[in-house]
Amino acid sequence: MSSQFPLQNTHRNGASIARTTLEQTALFLRQNWLRLSGIAAALIFFFALPAMFDQIFGFSADFELHRVSLIGIFIIAAFAQNILTGYAAQPSLGNAAFFGVSGYMVVWLVNDLNQPYWLGLVAACAVAALLGIVTGGPALRISGAYLAIASLGLVMLANSILTLWDTTAGRESYLFNNIPAALTDDHSLYYFVLWVVIITLYLGYNLTRSRIGRAFTAIRDDEAAAESFGVNLTRYKLLAFTISATLTGLAGGLYATWGGTASSSMSSVDQTIAFLAMIVIGGLGSIIGSILGAIFVGLIPLLLGLLPNVITVGTVQIQITTLNTGIYGVLLLLALIYFPMGLQTIPALLQKFLQRRKQS
């Protein structure tokens, strides 16, 4: 055991700490080349995607691209859930409440009150943030499974109220007629969402690596130790609730824009669990996990929809459409069993694989 103790202070070398900026940059590039090239490749892919879609799918392309934009919206919502659950370790399932309320707010402000779109979006985020603070405060008193179910109750409450609003107003759902012309076309909507996702994730990346983000993850690792170094548990948990609600509000506003309508199904139990499913599949406490999880949950049903309706094996005809949900469930199970820490581990596994190839 004595070899475990790093007690010899032989190699003290203050000079090794100070490096020039150039050297630091070079070191950073050397250590992160795989990640950086991955990001670059992903950016090129997503910016070029609409062009490729046109070539591959021809006339039906716009519809598919429209569906791809939805995945972008899910990425924001998944990251929001991840800040709360993956980083700050609050097992809250209430995010769909903010998602729905914000969707209705945007439509109400822009449609009925004739406010500019950007103002509607910002105001909806602000309302979501406020709701996040109002509900997050008391939620701090609740922990574990209680918080999960209590926040589920919040979603059902939002769902009932929004449904009631619709029934009282005598409509099926809240149609969004006043969407700015620039966002009604699928290509521009795609790029708008893409930019919002990039900016959100970039700022989010900075935040998670800052003093604030570290306070979240310190609370997750050890509340008592975090508190002993001055991390105010109440303040930071509440902050996580607020940031998460705000981003979910942003996603909700975009979703209403995307679908051209806000409906109470945005605040459904299925929707809120889908957000949790995204980060569980992708990986808790990880940005890449939020992205991969949202892609998994958003893309698999899309791909299953592309399967032929009926497959004939020998003389047996299999109705694929009726099996979609089950196939999706099986894929979900397989992902959870083989990647219990989420799909975020794929890049690391890939890196290990590449290094082993290099060595041999």
Question: From the list 69, 85, 267, 271, which residue makes contact with another protein (rule: CB under 8 A)?
Answer: 85
Residue 21 binding another protein, by CB under 8 A: no
Contact between 179 and 117 under an 8 Å Cβ cutoff? The reply is yes
* By the rule CB under 8 A, 309 interacts with another protein: no
Binding-residue pattern over the window 186 to 205 for another protein, x denoting contact by CB under 8 A: -----------------x--
Instruction: Please identify which residue in 37, 177, 184, 210 interacts with another protein, judged by CB under 8 A.
Output: 210
Distance CA 272, CA 278 (A): 10
Whose Cβ is closer to another protein: residue 50's or residue 282's? 282
Amino acid identity of residue 260, one-letter, is G
308 in contact with another protein (CB under 8 A): no
The residues in 147-176 that bind another protein, with binding defined as CB under 8 A, are: 148-150, 152-154, 156-157, 160-161, 163-164, 167-168
Residue 50 · residue 187 · CB < 8 Å: yes
Q: Is 326 exposed, middle or buried (0-12, 13-18, 19+ CB in 10 A)?
A: exposed
Closest CB to another protein among residues 125, 279: 279
Decide if 127 contacts 252 (C-beta within 8 A): no
How large is the angle between the packed helices 186-208 and 211-221, nearest 10 degrees?
70
Q: Does 129 bind another protein (CB under 8 A)?
A: no
Place of tokens 């930071």: 236
**Smallest separation, CB 34 to another protein (Å):** 16
- Taking a C-beta distance cutoff of 8 angstroms, is the pair 282, 294 a contact? yes
The Cβ of residue 117 has, within 10 Å, a number of other Cβ atoms equal to: 18
What part of residues 98-127 is at the interface with another protein (CB under 8 A)?
none
- Residue 82: is it exposed, middle or buried by C-beta count within 10 angstroms (0-12/13-18/19+)? buried
Q: Does 326 engage in binding with another protein (CB under 8 A)?
A: yes
73 part of the interface to another protein, by CB under 8 A:
no
Site string for another protein, 229-248 (x = CB under 8 A): xxxx------x---x-----
The pattern of x and - marking residues 246 through 285 that bind another protein according to CB under 8 A reads -----------------------x---x--xx-xxx--xx
Q: For residues 56 and 50, what is the distance between their CA atoms, to the nearest angstrom?
A: 10
Of 102, 94, 140, 151, nearest to 239 by C-alpha is 140
Of the candidate residues 20, 55, 114, 322, the single one contacting another protein (CB under 8 A): 322
Nearer Cβ to another protein, position 16 or 315?
16
What are 189's two structure tokens? 């909507």
Q: Of the two residues 50 and 132, which places its CB atom closer to another protein in the complex?
A: 132
